[in-house]
Amino acid sequence: MYGTGVALNQLKQQGQRNTLLTVEVKGRLQSILRLSGRYIAGRADIDLNALLDNLRTLGDELDDLYSEELLSAHEHLRSVFRIRVALLIVASFIERYRELIEPSEVGVSVLAH
């Protein structure tokens, strides 16, 4: 769980500072952060399959950006790499522990206990 928190924090920090990301990509990243946090917190209103698809799609787009921008400033490319790794960590965590995260009958995820 700690690693997922670190990954979410990296997504937030790197996404805000990276000049290679468009405003649209930054907005999508913030949305994924918010939805991931809500899902991990046990909110029942999150479509898990859509969230996982969004995590993977954005990660693939970042891979493409990384390939296209190899001649760009090195620090920004490292930031894109960190975002990509963080997206993979969050997606893996959610997939692995989805049964523990889903809300129980009382509305709080099993993981919260």
Supply the pLDDT for residue 74.
65
Supply the pLDDT for residue 113.
44
Supply the pLDDT for residue 50.
93
Supply the pLDDT for residue 71.
54
- Which mean pLDDT values do the consecutive 10-residue runs of the chain (113 residues) have? 79 83 90 90 86 91 71 68 86 87 61 48
Contacts (Cβ under 8 Å, ≥6 apart) of 86: 7, 8, 10, 11, 14
Question: How many H-runs (helices) and E-runs (strands) does the chain carry?
Answer: 5, 0
